Amino acid sequence: VSLAQANQMYVVFVWRSDAPDGAQPNVPDASAKAALPKLAARYKGNPQVMYGLQVEPHGTGSDWATLRPVFETMVDAIRVASAPYVPIVMVPGSSYSKDVSGAITDPVKRSNIVYKPHAYEASTDYQAMFGNTYNAGLPVFIGEFAPSDGATMVDMNALISYTQQRGIGWAAWWMDYSNQVTSALVLSATNLSPASPWGTTVRNAMLTTPTVAPTVAPTVVPTVVPTVAPTVVPTVAPTVAPTVAP
């Protein structure tokens, strides 16, 4: 976290499993519910630290109607640990976090919530999976995307264009260089140059994405109502005729 702060970066702690890169449960388990509040207490008040409730809910019990109340309970526990601060919490979707459309009619009823879909599908699915959620006025952040699981570089370029047009933030997957199924962003552990085409595409997108300046509330100058001096009506003393003695 301190290294991220020194480089003006954010850290998102997202629960996956007890073991490093282990198999994640279908839905957040007791370990997830215990770990995130501990992290929230440790990094209380740090604006560069955010939390994600799970990487990718899937399988039994991962439908949105079941997940939403679980997520609210987890957010409450994080809020208690981080009080009086209210850090951003990223909420995954169903179907391996691909679909956050359930939040349109049944949102997580807590503040500072961002919905975190993972985009590993064809670009024709974007609108249904998370575009409609964004159009409904809910905050969306693409938590993962890569040319993998059927998605191609054509889809990835379409996604980058889609997010730039709407001001949606994203994080590309992944820095791994071990020649696994998903394309790596960098060449190796000792050469962090971007790999082609995936790494170079992401790097170029990061360099060309416009910076959104924060909205500054205008300074309101109070209107001064001028004081109107009252009109003074002079008092006219009546003229009294003198009494003349005979």
Distance linking the first and last C-alpha atoms of the chain = 113
pLDDT digit string, tens, across residues 166-179: 999 999 998 876 65
Q: What is the C-alpha to C-alpha distance for residues 240 and 192, in angstroms, rounded to an integer?
A: 109
Q: How many CB atoms within 10 Å of residue 219?
A: 5
Whether this model's pTM surpasses 0.85: no
Structure tokens belonging to residue 195: 């790999």
Q: How far apart are CA 15 and CA 37, in angstroms?
A: 11
Give the bridge partners for 179, in sequence order.
none
Q: What is the pLDDT of residues 204-237, one digit of tens each?
A: 999 987 665 433 333 334 444 444 444 444 444 4
Checking if the pLDDT of 101 tops 70, the result is yes
> Positive or negative, the Cα torsion across 212, 213, 217, 220?
negative
Note the pLDDT of residue 200.
95
| Mean pLDDT, rounded, of the chain | 86
Q: What is the pLDDT of residue 179?
A: 59
